Structure 1
């Protein structure tokens, strides 16, 4: 019970700080516009599936190839409920039994990216692409790894390839913009303006693009987030994305406290499978490291 009370208290502190930061960046009406997500609960079907797969793996007489697939399948479920270490263990076990299991390499690369072990991430994605050159999402994931690894120009190449496969996808547009911005912010904004024209206004994520373009204010964006939502889960998933990109938006504006709070709010949704949730924690870690390096660089009295 003490742990639960402490957890609630910390969440409320984070919420108050986020509201305060938004209010400072815009106006007091932002507090009323901030929508708090209801964290997604773990699906009981996932728990049952993990138990059944574990039983089959331990008891059934199956081939190594079949066991590799089961390890992979269980790893995917572990990943979907946020059990990253168990997922990574299963993916590695799967690859020991079946070294050409493409999707296992892709997942391991994502996990290495989250751990900031970038060379290992690049190797994993390279293996994925070598085994399956048309694996589009390996290019996305390698591009994201290169972006966070400080190799923006190479990231642009991968993300541009991924974008070219579906140029009306707002998320492909956004990630390409993030990478391009690290190379040339002015040109990146020009490219974002052109690419935005191919994205349907009926896609809610077009609002995110408009936010970065400056076509909507942060308050207006917050008001529009729940538009057209049909369920609590859909709202939570949308907020996971909205919080993350609000974090990047405030980060670019130099509002680091607000950015950090939005990344925390994205993590609080528990939408573990979303790219935005995966990298919200990494964003926070990189911000803390940058802050600490600045502190250490200051002359000592």
Structure 2
């Protein structure tokens, strides 16, 4: 039987853990390595048309990004944009990377560029809303996240991000709104288990046990644990249980699912927590003197 993560006590008391469920971390597969080699061969050819060259750099940037090679991905994206600046998808990806790095003004500009070029882009409003949330501009985040949710009320992740923002924007109504949106949904996607956990319909142990026991492959296990640990960490962080949140964010990173927004934002959250602790340390030491 798969081992599970067991939590005893509430987030304001000591937390006891058993071994958490984990997946074998993603590794660069043979197909990805072959794809990189082929792109390198193509780039050696003379007289590549500019539009084709821009696409090649963009594709290689996506491949580098999926392998966690962020700096190489940014170099490729910059080359692609220099050749062809009319690429809304590229601006969207760049905005996500800027958000992960905490460069929020650059993220806003990238998402604005995406929407200028493609007003109906399927993800730019959500991604800009998330960036605005991290910029503590909760009202503007709601202006992006709410219409995005209304376009597909059966997408649990749209509901989850609205809830995360609502905890800051309208904290007294957050749980009520979450319940209403859950009731209005078709409840079909696996991600609704995260919402059920938030609502208290299932325990954290039940939530993680289901992931460990019902995942059909290591790949599915890695994907679901990346999401599960990240969104569980969000609640502990909201309740100011930072040691538990840090542990959960590290677990979210452990599967190497670099492409998932939850993996990217786990890095951002850890950086923000550590920065807050470092800034608070001098104040605490001066108080103790």
Q: Distance in 1 between matches of 2:103 and 2:126?
A: 17
Cross-structure match for 1:8: none
Greater relative contact order structure (CA < 8 Å, 6+ sep)? 2
Could you tell me how far 1:144 is from its partner in structure 2? 1.0
**Counterpart position of 1:88:** 74
Aligned counterpart in structure 1 of residue 210 of structure 2, from 224, 232, 244 = 224
Structure 2: distance between partners of 1:25 and 1:258: 11
- Check the 8 A contact 1:30/1:219 in 2, yes or no: no
Structure-to-structure mapping, 1:81-120, within 5 angstroms: 81-120=67-106
Q: TM-score of the superposition, structure 1-length normalised? A: 0.88
CA contact under 8 A between 1:199 and 1:206: conserved in structure 2?
no
In structure 2, the gaps of 5 or more residues are: none
Q: What's the CA shift for 1:227?
A: 4.9
Name the SS of the counterpart of 1:225 in structure 2.
helix
The structure carrying a bigger helix percent of its residues is 1
**1:271-290 mapped onto 2 (5 Å cutoff):** 271-290=257-276
**Corresponding position of 1:252:** 238
Q: Which moved more, 1:264-273 or 1:248-257?
A: 248-257
Correspondence for 2:190: 204
Count of aligned positions:
282
Provide closer, same or farther for how the CA distance between residues 60 and 189 of structure 1 changes in structure 2, counting only shifts above 3 A: farther
Structure 1 residue 151: Cα displacement:
1.1
Q: How many angstroms apart in 2 are the aligned matches of 1:186 and 1:97?
A: 49
Q: 1:50 aligns with which of 29, 36, 54?
A: 36
Out of 153, 168, 171, the position equivalent to 1:185 is 171
Contact 2:132 2:140 in 1 (8 A): yes
Is 1:31 matched up with 2:18? yes
Q: CA offset at residue 23 of structure 1?
A: 4.7
CA RMSD of aligned residues (A): 2.1
Q: Following the alignment from structure 1 to structure 2, what is the Cα–Cα distance between the partners of residues 43 and 260?
A: 29
Which of the numbers 238, 253, 265 marks the counterpart of 1:267?
253
CA contact (8 A) 2:5 2:205 kept: no
Alignment match, 2:63: 77
